[in-house]
Amino acid sequence: MRVLWWFATLTVVSVATIILSEENAFDSLKNVALTVSAPAGSAARDAASPLGDIYDGIADRGHLVRENERLREEVEALQAQLADQQDVLLRIAALEDALEVKSTRPEDQLLVASVFFRDPSGLKRSIAIDRGLGDGVREGMVVLSREGSLIGTVSDAFQDFAWIRLISDPDSAVNAQVNTTPSANTNVLTPETPAPGDEPNPSATPTPSGAPAPVPVQGIAKGDLRNELVLELLPPEAPIETGSLVVTSGLGGNYPPAILIGSVTAVELRPQAPFKKAFVEPAASLGGLDTVLVLISFEPARLSPP
């Protein structure tokens, strides 16, 4: 019986609720409830907003990490292409320099080589090149810079590479000469200047008036760890001035004549010293060599058969 009463009561309440809802009788109550609950809901949304931002940030960060990785790979690929292009340009420049040297020395055969190692000990001045016995490189051969000045000789040659002893190495010694200019009152006879009483040579090239021919002063250019290059055994009376050019003399047969070595930076003559000394700055930057030329057409005297 109690169950029937509960059922009847529930039915009446449900029917009444439906009727009142259809008649919008609860709208005022809903408005009151929304007005009361709105601040709490807004506060809850505001409290939850940072959590949503954090979630969105985490999601965006993963996307940014992937995008940055993709961009880094693209930059790396572009840098690799640029490095390849720069290497090609350097090789082209080296070949152009070699061709220019070749044009000034048409009788010589030059082999272009790249420097790939330097002696790190500090006790030697030597470099390694990527050419060796298989390319025709032999011990004692003369090595030039890209511009054609002397930098050293081949000290050891292997099948695929070779060691170059630079002229600044303590074990290096080159027969050299300084082309000095005599004073104006010095009477110097040259092939272009006939001796008194001789007939002029019509095939000789006349020496420009007021420009006396240079006088060669010979010495030995030796390597020095402090000063790079020192020209020793110079006559004390030799009129050597700063800026004078130093070249190979060709004496001894180990170097061709007239290869530029460098220029005089200072001259030293100590009291009672039998010889004068000159300090020489090499024409080539020996510390920044990247490409060199091996003079394979010249056979030094020490390579000649006995």
**Selection from 116, 180, 115, 110 nearest residue 141 by Cα:** 110
Gap between the terminal Cα atoms of the chain: 140
pLDDT digits (tens, 9 = 90+) for 204-215: 445 555 556 678
Classify strands 162-166 and 150-157 as parallel, antiparallel or unpaired.
antiparallel
pLDDT reported for residue 227? 76
Give the pLDDT of residue 190. 38
pLDDT at residue 203, rounded to an integer: 41
Q: What's this model's pTM, rounded to 2 decimal places?
A: 0.61
The confidence score (pLDDT) of residue 186 equals: 36
Give pairs for 245-251: CB < 8 Å, separation 24+. 245/178, 245/179, 246/176, 246/177, 246/178, 246/221, 246/278, 246/280, 247/176, 247/177, 247/179, 248/150, 248/174, 248/175, 248/176, 248/177, 249/175, 249/176, 249/177, 249/216, 249/218, 250/175, 251/175, 251/218
What is the C-alpha separation between 261 and 229, in angstroms, rounded?
Answer: 10
Determine the pLDDT at residue 185.
Answer: 36
From first to last of its 306 residues, the chain has per-residue pLDDT tens of 666 666 667 676 665 666 655 555 555 655 555 565 556 556 555 665 665 666 566 666 777 888 888 888 788 777 777 776 766 666 666 556 655 665 666 678 999 999 999 998 878 899 999 999 999 999 999 999 999 999 999 999 999 999 999 999 999 999 999 987 665 333 333 344 444 444 544 444 455 555 566 788 999 999 998 878 999 999 999 889 999 999 999 999 999 999 999 999 999 988 888 999 999 999 999 988 999 999 999 988 865 444
Residue 284 · residue 127 · CB < 8 Å: no
Q: What is the pLDDT at residue 151?
A: 97
CB of 219 closer than 8 Å to CB of 232? yes
Residue 121 contacts by C-beta under 8 Å, 6 or more apart in sequence?
none
Structure tokens at 179: 């082309």
